[in-house]
Structure 1
Amino acid sequence: MERCTSIPQAMREALPILATLNGHGHEAVFVGGCVRDTVMGLALKDVDIATSATPEQVVALFAYCIPTGLQHGTVTVMQDGTGYEVTTYRKESVYEKHRRPESVAFISDLKEDLLRRDLTINAMAMRLSGDYYDPYGGMSDIQSKQVRCVGDAEARFQEDALRMLRALRFASQFSFRIVYRTWRALLKHRELLRYVAMERVQAELDKMIGGPAPHYAAALLAGSGLLAYTLEPLPAARALLAEAAKTERIQLDYLPALHGVDIRYAALMTQPSVTPQEAKATLQALRMSGSRSGVIMAIVSLHHDMVVNRSPNEEKLRVSWIEAVLRYGQVAAASWLHIAEASGREHAFWADVPRMKLWLSQMEISSLKELALDGNQLAAYWDRKPGAWMGKTLKRLLLLVALGELSNSQEQLLKQVDRWKEETDES
Structure 2
Amino acid sequence: MTEGKWRVMPEMMAGALPVLEKLNSQGFEAVFVGGCVRDTIMGLHIHDVDIATAALPEQVMEIFPDSIPTGLQHGTITVRFQNELYEVTTFRTESEYEQHRRPAGVRFIASLEGDLLRRDLTINAMALMADGKLYDPFKGLLDIERRLIRCVGDADARFQEDALRMLRAVRFAAKFSYSFAYRTWRALRSHHHLLRHIAMERVMAELDQMIEGPRPAAAMKLLGASGLLQHTAKPLPALTDIQKNMRWDKLAELKPSLRWAALLAYSGATVGQTETTMESLRFPGRLKASVMAVIRLQLQMKHALAARSYSEENQLRREWTICVLEYGAEAAADWLEILILEESYPDFAMTFKQWLEEMPATVLKQLKIDGHALAQGVKRQPGSWMGSAMKRLLLAVAMQQLPNEPHRLLEQAKLWIAEDMTNDDE
- If the length of structure 2 is used for normalisation, what is the TM-score? 0.95
Alignment-mate amino acid for residue 341 of structure 2 = S
Query: 287-296 vs 62-71, which deviates more?
Result: 287-296
> What are the ranges of 5 or more consecutive residues in structure 1 without an aligned counterpart?
none
Q: 1: distance between equivalents of 2:165 and 2:267?
A: 31
2:271 corresponds to which residue? 276
Q: In the TM superposition, what are the counterparts of 1:262-411 in structure 2 within 5 Å?
A: 262-271=257-266, 273-310=268-305, 311-312=308-309, 313-340=312-339, 342-346=340-344, 350-411=346-407
SS at match of 1:253: helix
Q: 2: distance between equivalents of 1:387 and 1:304?
A: 33
Q: Over residues 237-295 of structure 1, what are the superposed CA-to-partner deviations in whole Å (9 max), with x where a residue is unaligned?
A: 1342xx55xxxx653111011112x3111111111612222222211211111112122
Q: Over residues 90-147 of structure 1, what are the superposed CA-to-partner deviations in whole Å (9 max), with x where a residue is unaligned?
A: 1111101101100110000110110100000000000010000000011001111111
Deviation at 1:385, TM superposition (A): 3.2
1:257 corresponds to which residue? 253
Deviation at 1:345, TM superposition (A): 3.4
Q: In the TM superposition, what are the counterparts of 1:138-157 in structure 2 within 5 Å?
A: 138-157=140-159
Alignment-mate amino acid for residue 153 of structure 2 = G
C-alpha contact 1:345 1:351 (8 A) present in aligned 2: no
> What are the ranges of 5 or more consecutive residues in structure 2 without an aligned counterpart?
none
C-alpha contact 1:90 1:106 (8 A) present in aligned 2: yes
Q: Over residues 306-341 of structure 1, what are the superposed CA-to-partner deviations in whole Å (9 max), with x where a residue is unaligned?
A: 12222223222211111111112222111111111x
C-alpha contact 1:276 1:304 (8 A) present in aligned 2: no
Alignment-mate amino acid for residue 353 of structure 2 = K
Q: In the TM superposition, what are the counterparts of 1:406-421 in structure 2 within 5 Å?
A: 406-421=402-417
1:2 corresponds to which residue? 4
SS at match of 1:307: helix
C-alpha contact 1:55 1:73 (8 A) present in aligned 2: yes
Alignment-mate amino acid for residue 332 of structure 1 = A
SS at match of 2:213: coil
Q: Equivalent pairs: percent with the same residue?
A: 50
Go from structure 1 to structure 2 and tell me whether the alpha carbon gap of 1:252 and 1:235 turns closer, same or farther (over 3 Å shift): same
1:21 corresponds to which residue? 23
Deviation at 1:346, TM superposition (A): 4.6
1:189 corresponds to which residue? 191
Go from structure 1 to structure 2 and tell me whether the alpha carbon gap of 1:324 and 1:115 turns closer, same or farther (over 3 Å shift): same
Query: 264-273 vs 391-400, which deviates more?
Result: 264-273
Alignment-mate amino acid for residue 289 of structure 1 = P
2:229 corresponds to which residue? 227
Q: 2: distance between equivalents of 1:400 and 1:345?
A: 35
SS at match of 1:345: coil
Q: 1: distance between equivalents of 2:324 and 2:61?
A: 59
C-alpha contact 2:70 2:76 (8 A) present in aligned 1: yes
| One of 51, 54, 68 as aligned partner of 1:52 | 54
Alignment size in residue pairs: 417
Alignment-mate amino acid for residue 129 of structure 2 = R
- If the length of structure 1 is used for normalisation, what is the TM-score? 0.95
C-alpha contact 2:95 2:106 (8 A) present in aligned 1: yes
Q: In the TM superposition, what are the counterparts of 1:81-230 in structure 2 within 5 Å?
A: 81-230=83-232
SS at match of 2:404: coil
Q: Over residues 368-423 of structure 1, what are the superposed CA-to-partner deviations in whole Å (9 max), with x where a residue is unaligned?
A: 11101111112222333333321111011000000011111111111111111111
Alignment-mate amino acid for residue 269 of structure 1 = L
Alpha carbon RMSD of aligned pairs, Å?
Answer: 1.3
Alignment-mate amino acid for residue 331 of structure 2 = A
Go from structure 1 to structure 2 and tell me whether the alpha carbon gap of 1:272 and 1:228 turns closer, same or farther (over 3 Å shift): closer
Deviation at 1:344, TM superposition (A): 4.3
Q: 2: distance between equivalents of 1:326 and 1:180?
A: 53
C-alpha contact 1:32 1:125 (8 A) present in aligned 2: yes
Runs of 4+ in 1 over 6 A off after TM superposition: none
Q: 1: distance between equivalents of 2:299 and 2:329?
A: 16
Q: 2: distance between equivalents of 1:292 and 1:408?
A: 32
1:422 corresponds to which residue? 418
2:78 corresponds to which residue? 76
Q: 2: distance between equivalents of 1:26 and 1:257?
A: 47
Q: Over residues 326-371 of structure 1, what are the superposed CA-to-partner deviations in whole Å (9 max), with x where a residue is unaligned?
A: 112222111111111x224356xx1211111111121111111110
C-alpha contact 2:246 2:343 (8 A) present in aligned 1: no
Q: 1: distance between equivalents of 2:157 and 2:317?
A: 58
